[in-house]
């Protein structure tokens, strides 16, 4: 079972429909037991980091997410689901994340001359071309995806950076380590390229 985690934030139906379009059945779940029973986990999200972490903790979902990752289950984080993997966010104060990766979530610089939030289509530059992440199978370098965010992740470990994007600064738009994939953009809103990523993640789940 591929589980999409419902913690009260994010357009879960669009993610579920995206998987359905590529022939992958995904269930929306909201209990610890359902997360632990799943063969793969998807954590989408839109909204404030602090509110999301509070909801995950109150629903008892934070621990099962970490356990699933540690058990080697395929994991896909989308937008806020990427940011939550890191140590802390500096959105409206400093707030602890899941701590899967060391690093911070920071706001785009105010003096960049660009509008915040970063909203619309932008390209990704794939960093690990020789050892390409499985979910980027068939995705060309500089492919375009749809973004909506005001904050970005700054990993301490550069080896997990799978792709970057330019928006005033060059920032990390995808991370990958072993069974964990997470993207700042929205594959479910990114038409053909986004659906390729969802299909590739489904193929990775089947092989795991």
What pLDDT, on a 0 to 100 scale, did the predictor assign at position 150? 95
Write down the pLDDT at residue 70: 98
Q: Which domains does the chain show, CATH number per domain? A: 2-207 (3.40.50.880)
DSSP string over 149-184: ESEEEEES-GGGEEEEEEESEEEEEEEEETTEEEES
Report helix, strand or coil for 198: helix
The active-site residue out of 34, 52, 91, 186 is: 186
* pLDDT score at 88: 97
Active site residue 52: no
* pLDDT of res. 38: 97
Q: Would you state the pLDDT for residue 117?
A: 93
- Which one of the listed residues 52, 91, 149, 188 is annotated catalytic? 188
Task: Write down the catalytic residue from 79, 91, 118, 149.
Answer: 79
Q: In the chain, which residues have pLDDT < 70?
A: 129
Give this prediction's pTM.
0.96
Residue 160, pLDDT score = 96
């Amino acid at each position: 079972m591929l589980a999409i985690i419902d913690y009260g934030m994010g357009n879960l139906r669009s993610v579920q429909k995206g998987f359905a379009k590529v022939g992958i059945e995904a269930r929306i779940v909201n209990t610890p037991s359902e997360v632990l029973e799943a063969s793969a986990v998807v954590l989408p999200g839109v909204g404030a980091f602090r509110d999301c972490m509070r909801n995950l903790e109150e629903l008892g979902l934070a621990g099962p997410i970490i356990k699933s990752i540690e058990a080697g289950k395929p994991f896909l984080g989308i937008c806020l689901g990427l940011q939550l993997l890191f140590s802390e966010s500096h959105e409206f104060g400093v707030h602890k994340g899941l701590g899967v990766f060391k690093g911070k979530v920071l706001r785009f610089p105010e003096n960049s001359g660009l509008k915040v939030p970063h909203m619309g289509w932008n390209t990704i530059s794939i960093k690990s071309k020789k050892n390409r992440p499985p979910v980027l199978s068939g995705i060309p370098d500089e492919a375009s995806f749809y973004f909506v965010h005001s904050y970005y992740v700054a990993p301490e470990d550069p080896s997990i950076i799978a792709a970057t994007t330019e928006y005033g600064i060059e920032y990390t738009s995808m991370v990958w380590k072993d069974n964990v994939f997470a993207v700042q953009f929205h594959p479910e809103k990114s038409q053909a390229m986004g659906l390729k990523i969802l299909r590739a993640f489904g193929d990775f789940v089947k092989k795991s």
